[in-house]
Structure formats: C-alpha cells, structure tokens
Structure 1
Amino acid sequence: MTYQTSLHKFLANSKTYQNEAFLHQPIDGVWHTLTFADVEQQARTIASGLLSQGFERGDRIGIFSKNCAEWFIVDLAIMMAGMVSVPIYSTAGAKTIRYVIEHSAMKAMFIGKLDSFDAIEQSLTDELLTISFPYPTTACKSSWQNWLTTYKPLEETHSPLPDECMSIVYTSGTTGNPKGVVISYLNIGSAASSTCKLVNASRNDRFMSYLPLAHITERSIVECAAYESAIQVYFVESLDTFIDDLQHASPTFFLSVPRLWAKFQAQIFIKMPAKKLKLLLSLPIIGKLVAKKIRLKLGLSATRVFASGSAPIAKSLLVWYQKIGINISEGWGMTETSGLSCGNFPFTSSRLGTIGVPVDCVKMKLSEQQEILISGDAVFKEYYLNPEATEKEFTDNWFHTGDKGEITNDGAYKIVGRIKEQFKTSKGKYVVPVPIEGMLCRNSVIEQVCVMGLGLKQPIALVVLGEGIDRHDNSIQQGLLATLEEVNNELESHQRLDFIYVCAHPWDIENELLTPTLKLKRSSIEQFYSDKLPRTNETKVVVEL
C-alpha cells in the first residue's frame, strides 16, 4: 500500500483548511488557537532558521520539552528543512540527555516547557546551539520569537522520500543506555494512516496531547494522526489544570496509560466510595445518570473512542470502566513498530484482556517460543549506529518484540509477559509476572504492582495503594489478604505468592522506578526493596513502615 508522508499530509490539509483551527494551547489559563496557516507559516520560518545556521539535510536536531504547540511546529520545521528530529523525554536525567546528544551527533536543540532545569543545564555543551520555546525555560543561545522575526518563511520545503529517516527515537531504557530507533517517513506514515482508518478519524475529531511526545505512541497516534486527518489538537498547561483543560477540549478520542486510568478510578472513589457507586450503577435509570455525570466531570462526555497503551492494563479495570460507559480499547505497539500495531478496535467486549488484532500495515505471528514477531511497513529497519543489535533482533525480516503472547480462538492477540521478565525461583520453576499482576489488580485499592521472586522459594508481590488509601487500615489489609488468597487459588503451586508487601511510597519517574512512559523498571524496583523485605514473615500482608 502507498502512504503519503506526514509532511505531505499536513501541507495538503493546511491548503484545504487554511484559516481553520488546528492547535489549541493554554497559556496562563487563556486558550490560544493556531490555524493551519499559522502553524505552516511558523514551521516554514523555523525551517529557514535551521538552514541559515549552515546545517545540512540529515543533520540531527533535538527537541526537549513537555508537550505544546511549538513541539508540533518545530517537528514540522525539521521535516521541511530535510533534517532529522531527535526527541528527548522532558523528564530525562543528565546522563541520558548527554548520551543522546553525543550518540546522535546533535547539531541544535529546541528547549521548552520543563518541570526542572537541573538535568538540561548539566548536559549542554558550548558547541550545541540551543533555541528556547516561548515559555519560561533554561537560558538558550537564541529564542523562538527571535527566529520568527529574523528569518523569512522557507518557500520550497524538502519533499521526503518514504524510506528517508524522519526521526531517531531513543527507547526509554529500562536497562542500560537507550537505543536509537531509526524511524522512516514510511514507518510513521503507515502507522498514523492505519490508526486513523481504524478509529474513523476525521476533521470533526478533537484529540488531547499530554502523554510524552518523545514517545512513539503520542507522536504517531496523536501528532502524525492529526497531520493525516486534520484533527484539532488541544494541549495541557500543567498537571494542576489537567481536568479543566480536558473539560475544555472535550475530546472525541482519548488515549491514556494504565496507571492514569487507575488514578482516574481512585479519584472517583475518593468522591464516592466503591460500594455506594456499585449500588447506584446497578439501578436501571439512576445508574445511567450517575455514569453520565462521571464522564462529564472527567471531560469525557463527548469521547467516542477510549484507548489504553504503553503497558498491560488489568482486565478488571477495563470491566469496571465499562460500567460507567467508558469502553477502553487496549492497544499494543513499540518504538520499533512506530506506534499502534495491534488493537481492540472497534471496541469488542468479548476481547477484553487482549490487544485485539494487527492493524493493516503490519503482520504478526508467534514463534515456537510463543514470542510475538512482527513485520510490515511500520516496522523499523535499524538501530542507529548499532548493527549488532539490529541483526540480533531480526530473523528473516521478522522483528523479535520480546513479548510473549497467545492467540485467542477469534484471532486476537494476548500479551502474557515479557520473554526476559520471567524469572526462576530457587525451586527451579519459571514464573511469568504480568498475568499475576493483572489478577491482583482486581482489588481496586492497588494502583501499582510488581511480582518478583528471582532466587526466592516463592514469588512475592510489591504493591502501591491508590492515593488517599491508608495502608495501615485493617479493613484494607484484610481486603488485600482476601485478594491474595483468591489469586493463589487460581495459580499453580510454583506461582503462588508468599506474601504481599505494601510499599510506603509510589513508584515514579523521579525515583527512577518507572520509565518516562510509566513502565516498571523491574530490576530497579527489586534492587530498591531487596534490603527492606522481611527475611521471615508471619503474616501474608506486610506493610512497609
């Protein structure tokens, strides 16, 4: 199948919808709208600025910022100039930032909205040109506004070929240095086009952009999908204004990650206890009104497509959301596959707990070891400057995803764990943690869970409870004990959990127990708690002091 590049699609839509709204950016509580013409004019001007520095086609240009309209604009500008974008997570530490700058041989970096300037200020070199976005940020050598007034819009933009490198996207690095995934225009164009087709995206849709744009999912499913189908995009000003911004945008498509879906549920329970809500939802007429009110309060009353990605989500959580009229389609993809590769779209209730079926730009199959293999237009061709890793991950053009899977009777794929995450107990038995973690999440007080047990007689579960839940509350502990017994009754003897350890503090990016995409850093979690765990335990629920 032939796909147009994201740049070509944007330029075509900009011509069609020239003076119509495209990007919506809140600044100090006031919404600012940019038309397609505004975005194109600014992108052409920034592209001209890049070329005026003497940079050449193929040079790598960094983007280091939280999501904002300028992120989209500079990405388009880099494409227009024929250069290669290198996004870095706004939460990345100094070590990662320095590594990406050096490894990619970056020539310039655009720096924008950040929660902290410490890491970036420790990482910059005198040789690197820095340009600030129009927000309070670290000191840079030049500024966005200066470039907009100094340079004239580029008249003739680069016209990329499908196999050209559009971006080098560095993985979030659960172990070791991140790998640079070379993403071509064909890769991301096919993924964005297939996503739009799958969810019937159109000019009438409204998307929210708040998950990290440095991650391929947001880049492909939101940014490049917006170029593909002329979708309006709304940004979030800050964490404090998230719900207000969401209510203002009233998105028709809403993508989130398992941890945030769990947090939304916890916030609902704070306002209405789970038992009372369950009772109200069971009442025929009142239940529908309550569910509608919840969706309205969340800003999701107009949403027609709900999605979850980045990590496995508990089936029990998906079932609970169904009760309030939020049918979440689980999707799966990797940086190496340019975003969404498999999904439960359109939403099919019987496929809850699966990642659905492959999108039309890829093919998938299982190896003899039950590993998911994937090939197709959206699959990358190489890791940047790392031919050994590239060769290792491919067999006859099939990419080894590292995910262990199953195929249901109706052809849907189900992730049952990571090949490398399974561990062997001291009894010599292998345990795959992800399915057990999903079973534990039936208990809605559990927000985060990590099953571990390398070298132990039996696996154990580390859990973090939802915000506002007292881990010392006896009724909470009794509920966890009941969940443990219920789950253990469904497991084989070597899989049964010895005890649940209730952690005092959440795992997050700042304490380096989560990746920037909110995936568990299992080895870091195990190492962090290794000295805290009891050597002998008299109870099945152990609470960290």
Structure 2
Amino acid sequence: MEALHALQTDLATQAHHFYHWERQQPNKTYLRQPVGSRFMDFSWGEVGRQARIMATYLNALGLPPHSNIGLVSKNCAHWIIADLAILLSGHVSVPFYPTLTAAQLRQVMAHSGCRVLFVGKLDNWPAMKPGMPAGVHGIAFPNYLPASPSPDPDLTPWETILNGYEPMRDSPLRSPDDIYTIVYTSGTTGNPKGVMLDMKAVAAFMKAVEPVGRLDVNDARYFSYLPLCHIAERNVVEVGSLITGGTVHFAESLETFAGNLVAARPTHFLAVPRIWTKFQLGILAKLPQKRLDRLLRIPLVSDLVKRKIRKSLGLNEAVFILTGAAPMPVSLIQWFRRLGIVIQEAYGMTENLGGVSLMPVDDSRDGTVGKLYEGMEVKIDPDTGEVLTRADWLMRGYYREPAMTAAVLRNGWLHTGDIGQLDENGYLTITGRVDDMYKTPKGEYVAPSQIEFGFADNSYVEQICVAGQHLPQPVALVVLSEMGRHTDRMQVTRSLESTVNVLNPHLHTYERVKKVVVVKDQWTVENNMMTPTMKIKRNIVEKQYEPHLEPWYSREETIVWEE
C-alpha cells in the first residue's frame, strides 16, 4: 500500500498520514455524514481546508503552546475535523463523553484546565452547559439539519470561523515527545483519570498494528458509532482511516443505526460484546435457533443463509471484525463463526493504547484474548496473578496525578489490574480483575467475572453482576435481554435454574451461586449503572442492591424476581 511504503522509513504520526492523503487524493471522500436520507460528504481536501482554517483560528486565540482543548460531541464528521485541527495547531486534544452530566463535565474540564471547548452533536447541551467553566471559549459545530436550533448563541459558530480566517499554509510536524491527547477513562470506579499519550507512543503502536490490522485493504471503509473519545474507537476508526486513506461513515442516531451500517458496508468494524449480543438476538428473532441449525446443515442452503445474514448486518464485505472493551463469551464468538463472521478479540486499556493482544484470524485460541503484538512484553505477577505490560506505547502518566501514576507505572511496567495467564505461544488469557475479587466471611477469595462467564450461553440474560461480599455464597443479579422480557416467567425461571445447575459443579464450593435475582430495571449509561463504553459499574450496582441482598438470600426459591 502506497502510504505504508512511503512512510515505513520513520515512525509516522497521524499528521504524516493526513498530509499524505490530503496531497495524494484531495477529491476522494473521507467522511460521510448521514442526514436523514442523504449524505454530507467531505473530501480529504475539504477536511484539510476546514481543519487548517480551524487551526489558524486556534492559534489566533493567543493560547500558550500545547494548551489543552476540549471536545464534547457524539461521533460525526466535525469530531474528526476538530481533532485534526487541534493536532495541526500544536495543541492537545482532550475529548469527553457526550453523555456527561453538567457536574461530570465540570469535573473533567476543571481537572484538564481546557481553555477552549468544541461543542458538537449532543442530546441536551442546555443541561450540560452549566458544567462549562466561566472563561472557557466555546466553538459550536455546524448543524447538519438546517431547521435545528443553534446549540448555544454564546458559542462561536463553526461557519463564522470558516468565513473569517484563512487556512494554515504550512504542514507542521510535532515533536515525538509532545503530548498528543489526554484521554479520560470512562470511570468504572471514582473520577475519570486523564491518560496522557504522546506522539511517539501513538506512532509506535501504529507501526505495531501494520502487520496484523489489515491496513492493506483497498477502499477501506469504517463505521463510527462507539464513542470516539474512547481509545478503541479512536484507534480503529480515526487512526485506521488516516493510515489507510479510507472512508469513515457515521451513524446518525440509534434509530437509523442498522440502516447506516448496511449503507456503509464497512471493511473494518468494531463492536463491544453487548452489540454482538443484540445482533445475535435480532437474527434469532427472525430465524429461531433450531431452524437456523437445520438450515446450516444443508450445504448449498447454508452458504446462502450465511451470505444473507452477513448482508443484512452490513458485514458482507468486512475483513477485519473486532470486539473489545469487555470480555466476549466464547460461545458468542463461536456462534458468529458458524455464520462466517470471524470476530477477532482485542485486549488492552487506555493506559497502553488498547494494544496488548489481538486474536489472529487464522489461528484462534478460544478462551484467550489473542496473541501479543510484536513489541509488547507481558509478565504475570507471581504473587497476585496481575498482568503487567511494557511497550513503546505506554502512557506518559495520569494528568496532574503523580501518585496515581506511580501506583501503576513501576520500573517501566504498567500494572493493568487484570488477572491473567500467558502461554508459551504468546496467547493471553484474562480471568478477572484484582479489584473485583472479594473475600467471603470465611476468608476465601471469589472472582465474580469467572462466575459471570457461566451465564454467557443463556440468551435470556443481557447483563449480570455477581455480588454478595458479606453473604455465605454469591448472588447473581441479572437483567433480562429483550427475548427474556418477552418470554413466559416460568420458562425463564427454568432456564436460569438449568444454567445454575450446570455452572455450580464447576466452581469451588464457596463460589457456587446461591440465588439468581432478576432485577426490574435495566442498567444503562443514563442511570449511571454503566460506563459510556457499556461496562457495568460494579460498585454502583452493588450499592444499589446491597440493602436487598440478605432478604433475597433468605428466600426459599433459587430464582428470585424483584417485585
């Protein structure tokens, strides 16, 4: 591929790649923004023009060098243009989740010290606005729908800047030691931490991905819908498109998601396990498992069914299909593999750029999270079983948090907080979190995640959290899937009892599930039970149900329904 060959002599940064494609294919579509039934297309040249004008504007504000600049928006074309503008202007990009409350925005804005904030596509900016500190200069993305109101008359409109400034003429390159971005973690426990990632770290990881990331695909297409402020989406979509010169398609809304995905026909696609589960349930709603199994046993019909399912999802041309951010049940990976959808599991965290391991497409080892990237070192702490990582792409540290940095970065090794095992072939297995483990009243340690994995095959269960630190045996709190919510209660009860009966003999006595509680309310980002990346906030969930655990535990039945 031209870009890779042209830039292999150096550790190329995002700026190198952007300048290359801006020059080589100025008229090719880079960003496709759906607006109802039409698209707003932005060519590489037009993205460059707008980013360069915005960079001129940022530099005209008289900010100190390497100032932190915030960005809060759902995924859209101008998210990437703004991020590029910050990069070209020499400042530091600090993206925030678009689901933050005013109090949460205030906390990360104050902590990061951002002097400027890009405000984009949001559900309720007026509710979030009180979290914007006084004195911060705001810039509003343009409205994709002409009839929609301006996000805020106090913000400087994007179009005003485009009409009032000239594009930056030169193409500056940043020092390898410059901070490229500060990524705030999604905050499963406590306040989010600002992970500082420098230019050389990102460039080193981009180099490590080249042999395994299918960056040689012609006409690469990406579908962006998971939060771009999360390291996984930013790596796969933004960085991936900059390396390949590909096209990024966006999802307009939750309601148009399926149609937008089919229209995009991505070659590279990332989904978290919960999305894959929803895909599976959607397929089974139209084609029940018994009928699907029967059709897949008929050779000619099997191929036809597989093609039809892949096309209905929009994945018929996908060559690099990923899952990450949370553990993926092996049974779910195998289920999709039968349909010809080979999902590669990736493992990492923001602090190591999400780049520890990737499942090889031609040598899957189910139950592991894949093989270490070239250049990534891993060792297992002999006392705790914790996974330690070392590579050229570790974070610089936590912004303004030296004590927190020292607690996880020791002697060049990043302490991940995950418990795992590494085999002789470089395949890594994650078995839990150090912080999730708890001690029973009798002193035995319980790893909740290992118990939770045992419910992965039950299609009536969408979310699960094992709790009961002060009880003799664990209690499994479950949220039903859509299928479970529309199934007779007695049938769901029998299914959950069967899962418990199959699972418990494989666990230590003190780990065996005593009760399964079907809770009434779903756990969502909106009710603070989940992070924006769809991870359960275990401590919040446990606190919510703590007063009820003992009464539920004392009930006679194994499956308890919250009334």
Shorter-chain TM band = over 0.9
Partner residue in 1 for 2:238? 223
Q: How many residues align?
A: 544
Q: Distance in 2 between matches of 1:542 and 1:325?
A: 38
Q: Distance in 1 between matches of 2:376 and 2:286?
A: 43
Partner residue in 1 for 2:303? 288
The alpha-carbon deviation at position 201 of structure 1 amounts to 1.4
From 119, 122, 129, the equivalent of 1:114 is 122
- Asked if residue 412 in structure 1 is aligned to residue 427 in structure 2, the reply is yes
Identity of aligned residues (%): 37
The alpha-carbon deviation at position 347 of structure 1 amounts to 4.6
From 491, 497, 505, the equivalent of 1:489 is 505
1:107–1:128 contact (8 Å) kept in structure 2: yes
2:214–2:319 contact (8 Å) kept in structure 1: no
Partner residue in 2 for 1:537? 555
Distance 1:71-1:83 versus aligned 2 partners, 3 A rule: same
Partner residue in 1 for 2:81? 73
Q: Distance in 2 between matches of 1:220 and 1:414?
A: 22
The alpha-carbon deviation at position 282 of structure 1 amounts to 2.9
Partner residue in 1 for 2:6? none
> Structure 2 matches for 1:118-267, cutoff 5 A?
118-135=126-143, 136=148, 138-139=151-152, 140-202=154-216, 203-267=218-282
1:162–1:184 contact (8 Å) kept in structure 2: yes
* SS in structure 2 of the partner of residue 519 of structure 1: coil
From 319, 331, 334, the equivalent of 1:316 is 331
Question: 1:306-347 deviations in whole A, cap 9, x for unaligned?
Answer: 110001111111111111111111111111111232110335
- Asked if residue 327 in structure 1 is aligned to residue 345 in structure 2, the reply is no
The alpha-carbon deviation at position 508 of structure 1 amounts to 1.0
From 4, 11, 16, the equivalent of 1:3 is 11
* SS in structure 1 of the partner of residue 470 of structure 2: coil
1:464–1:504 contact (8 Å) kept in structure 2: yes
1:343–1:356 contact (8 Å) kept in structure 2: yes
The alpha-carbon deviation at position 409 of structure 1 amounts to 4.9
Distance 1:208-1:194 versus aligned 2 partners, 3 A rule: farther
The alpha-carbon deviation at position 20 of structure 1 amounts to 1.3
1:193–1:228 contact (8 Å) kept in structure 2: no
The alpha-carbon deviation at position 55 of structure 1 amounts to 1.8
Question: 1:263-289 deviations in whole A, cap 9, x for unaligned?
Answer: 111111222222322332233332222
- Structure 2 unmatched runs, 5+: 1-8
1:196–1:228 contact (8 Å) kept in structure 2: no
1:333–1:342 contact (8 Å) kept in structure 2: yes
The alpha-carbon deviation at position 460 of structure 1 amounts to 1.4
Partner residue in 2 for 1:363? 377
2:193–2:398 contact (8 Å) kept in structure 1: yes
Question: 1:15-55 deviations in whole A, cap 9, x for unaligned?
Answer: 11222121111123311221111111110000011111112
> Which letter maps to 1:340?
G
> Which letter maps to 2:95?
P
Partner residue in 2 for 1:55? 63
Distance 1:262-1:200 versus aligned 2 partners, 3 A rule: same
Q: TM-score, normalised by structure 1?
A: 0.97
* SS in structure 2 of the partner of residue 198 of structure 1: coil
Distance 1:96-1:167 versus aligned 2 partners, 3 A rule: same
> Which letter maps to 1:543?
W
1:221–1:340 contact (8 Å) kept in structure 2: no
Q: Distance in 1 between matches of 2:561 and 2:307?
A: 37
Partner residue in 2 for 1:345? 360
Question: 1:424-476 deviations in whole A, cap 9, x for unaligned?
Answer: 11221101111221121111221111112211100111111211423652112
Partner residue in 2 for 1:459? 474
1:374–1:401 contact (8 Å) kept in structure 2: yes
The alpha-carbon deviation at position 103 of structure 1 amounts to 1.1
> Which letter maps to 1:41?
R
2:459–2:484 contact (8 Å) kept in structure 1: no
- Asked if residue 522 in structure 1 is aligned to residue 530 in structure 2, the reply is no
Q: Distance in 1 between matches of 2:415 and 2:250?
A: 35
> Which letter maps to 2:539?
S
Distance 1:67-1:297 versus aligned 2 partners, 3 A rule: same
The alpha-carbon deviation at position 178 of structure 1 amounts to 1.1
Which moves more between the two structures, 191-200 or 506-515? 191-200
- Asked if residue 273 in structure 1 is aligned to residue 291 in structure 2, the reply is no
* SS in structure 2 of the partner of residue 166 of structure 1: strand
Question: 1:168-226 deviations in whole A, cap 9, x for unaligned?
Answer: 11111112111111111122222233334312213421111111011111112210121
- Asked if residue 44 in structure 1 is aligned to residue 52 in structure 2, the reply is yes
1:196–1:229 contact (8 Å) kept in structure 2: no
Q: Distance in 2 between matches of 1:453 and 1:465?
A: 20
Q: Distance in 1 between matches of 2:63 and 2:104?
A: 24
* SS in structure 1 of the partner of residue 454 of structure 2: helix
Q: Distance in 2 between matches of 1:342 and 1:281?
A: 32
> Which letter maps to 1:321?
F
From 398, 402, 405, the equivalent of 1:387 is 402
Partner residue in 1 for 2:4? none
2:518–2:562 contact (8 Å) kept in structure 1: yes
* SS in structure 2 of the partner of residue 469 of structure 1: helix
1:60–1:84 contact (8 Å) kept in structure 2: yes
Partner residue in 2 for 1:29? 37
2:118–2:138 contact (8 Å) kept in structure 1: yes
Q: Distance in 2 between matches of 1:424 and 1:41?
A: 58
The alpha-carbon deviation at position 156 of structure 1 amounts to 2.1
> Which letter maps to 1:44?
R
The alpha-carbon deviation at position 119 of structure 1 amounts to 4.1
The alpha-carbon deviation at position 535 of structure 1 amounts to 4.2
Q: Distance in 1 between matches of 2:308 and 2:18?
A: 37
* SS in structure 2 of the partner of residue 234 of structure 1: strand
Moved over 4 A (4+): none
Partner residue in 2 for 1:12? 20
The alpha-carbon deviation at position 374 of structure 1 amounts to 0.8
The alpha-carbon deviation at position 510 of structure 1 amounts to 0.4
> Which letter maps to 2:37?
G
